[in-house]
Structures are given as C-alpha cells and as structure tokens.
Structure 1
Amino acid sequence: MNADPLLRLRVLAAGLHAGLYAEEHIALPYERVWAVASDLSGELPHLIPFLREFRVPPGDADRVPALAVGRSGVRAPFEVRLAPGWCLMQSRLIVGGMAAVPEGDGTRFAVLGATRPAPLRPAQWLYGRVLGERRGRAFVHRVTERAASR
C-alpha cells in the first residue's frame, strides 16, 4: 500500500458516511494486533457478535471472494482486499474495513462499518448516533483482548 492505511480508512469512512468508525492506540505490537485483524476466518467471528463464520479461501491474491454466515444462517458473499495494515470487505449491502500502523511501542488501529445503498443511509445515520461509537470501541477492545492472549 502506498498511502497510509489509516488515512485511507478515514477517507473511506467519511465518503461512506460510516455509521461505525473507531480509531484507537492499542498498547501491543503491530504484529500481534495485525495477526488478529488479518485472520478473518479464525478471528472475525470472535470480533463481530452476529457473525458465525467468515469463510476466506487460503491464498495470496489481492482480491478474494469470501462468504459471511450470520448466527441466524443468513449468508452474504463478500470481496476481500487484504494487505499488511489494510483490510477492506465489501458485499452488495455492507462495507467493512480495518487498518493498522505501528505507533510508538504499540499500534494505531481503526475499524469502519457502513452500508452501501443510499436508501439505507438514514438507518446508518441513526445507527451511528445511537450505537456506532460504542460498537466501534467494543470491536477495538475485542481486537485488543484477542491480540493480548496470543
């Protein structure tokens, strides 16, 4: 990635009017934090409460197909772009992303969640005002806990 992954995620969050965005310093080394964030199949179901499974085929491709399976059994195909410090996951309705960079002795980490269709923006706005900040901080906290236990 040529550009700072955090700056890219901030710009994406602003452009999508993301209902969920959180950015914090985590007092753990970048390698440990990113090991959790980039392990989508193994860790994402622990980080997102309503997600039962996130299937990503093994490999090194820049763009890979993935399948999200919710706790209710609902399935959604995603396209995933994963690179050091950068993860972007997009379905027809949802955009999710994570970014991380080393910062001092720790890591600056960010997460975003947004809807894609414009008609869903009012719901996204309401979600952002009511739950977005709290859910974003909770996500960062879960990443921190998972990284600390590695």
Structure 2
Amino acid sequence: MTVDWPIAELDPVRRLNVLAAGIPGAVVTETFLDTDPVRAWETLSDLEHTVPEIQPHVRQFRIVGEEQGRMVADVRGHAGLRARMSIDMQPFLCCMQSRYLVVGMAVAPDGRGTRFARMQGLRFPRPFPAALKPFAAYTIRTEAQRVATLAWETA
C-alpha cells in the first residue's frame, strides 16, 4: 500500500519561525526590505561585516574556521564580552548559536521586495528567557531597522 503524504514547502522565513517556536523565549521580528532577495542575502551573509553593523553590542565578528561542517566565529563585544558561535549557513537562512544565545536571520521573496526575519533566543533555563523577551523584541526590531538601512545603502 502506497500512501502519498502531503508535503509542506516552507520558505526560509517560515523555517526560522518554526525553529523559534521550539526555543523558549525566542523572539522573531519580520520587516520588508525594498530590494531583491539575492542582493539582500549577499549583504546579510557577509557576516564579518554585517553582524557588527547591525548589532550595536558587537565590536568584531571573525570567522575562524570550521567544525563538523559548520563555520565557527569568534565574537567580541564593546564591553569586553567574548563568544564562540557555531554557524549553520544555508541559502537565505543563517542560524548561529553560542553557549548562551541562539540567533538567526532569513530572507524570502515578497512581491517586488524581500521579507527579512531576525530571531533571537537565550539558552538559559526557564524563567530567564521569558523574562528577557521584551528586551529581546526591542533589540531585534532595532536591528531589523539597521538591516533595512543597510540593504538600502547597498542596493
């Protein structure tokens, strides 16, 4: 007996939302970019330049190698904080995680422009992620505005 199972194709932005649903306290913000998705992704996927540009607390983001098929980056903040990030980069979708943080970004075509999503979640035990959710929501909304500006400047 052969049963045809339904197939659900999810664009990268929807995939990021599904990932966020499984992370306690994760926040996703979406915005529209008035540029082509390919051009937006070319800018966004240049992590060493884009991450410090859109995240005000990041001073330096440097790719240092690869482990188990994923890129590895050293991240340094203005306050002296350091983190090592594991990066899963796919077409139009990037997920990064450190010991305490999970972040992601994705783009998908939307009419004559691009839908951009940014996700952030903390890898702490409950109730900390939920308590910090309003701050994370404000932070990633601000970062999404910086991405829109960056996308406009590079268009």
Q: What TM-score does the superposition give when structure 2 sets the normalisation length? A: 0.84
Are 2:36 and 2:109, in contact at CA under 8 Å, matched by a contact in 1?
A: yes
Offset at residue 137 of structure 1 (A): 1.8
Count of residues in correspondence between the two structures: 145
Of all paired residues, the percent bearing the same amino acid is 34
- The residue number in structure 2 matching 1:142 is 146
What are structure 1's unaligned runs of at least 5 residues? Answer: none
How many angstroms apart in 2 are the aligned matches of 1:132 and 1:90? 15
1:132 aligned to which of 136, 142, 145: 136
How many angstroms apart in 1 are the aligned matches of 2:25 and 2:118? 10
Farther-moved stretch of structure 1 (15-24 vs 37-46) = 15-24
Q: What TM-score does the superposition give when structure 1 sets the normalisation length? A: 0.86
Within a 5 Å distance, the mapping from 1:39-54 to structure 2 comes to: 39-54=46-61
How many angstroms apart in 1 are the aligned matches of 2:72 and 2:65? 10
Cα RMSD between the aligned structures? 2.0
- The residue number in structure 2 matching 1:81 is 88
The letter of the residue matching 1:32 is: R
- Between structure 1 and structure 2, the one with the greater Rg is 2
Q: String of CA shifts for 1:104-124, please: whole Å, max 9, x gaps.
A: 110011011111132xx3232
Runs (4+) of structure 1 exceeding 4 A deviation are none
- The residue number in structure 2 matching 1:115 is 122
Q: Secondary structure at the match of 2:22?
A: helix
Offset at residue 92 of structure 1 (A): 1.2
How many angstroms apart in 2 are the aligned matches of 1:18 and 1:68? 22
More helix by share: 1
What are structure 2's unaligned runs of at least 5 residues? Answer: 1-8
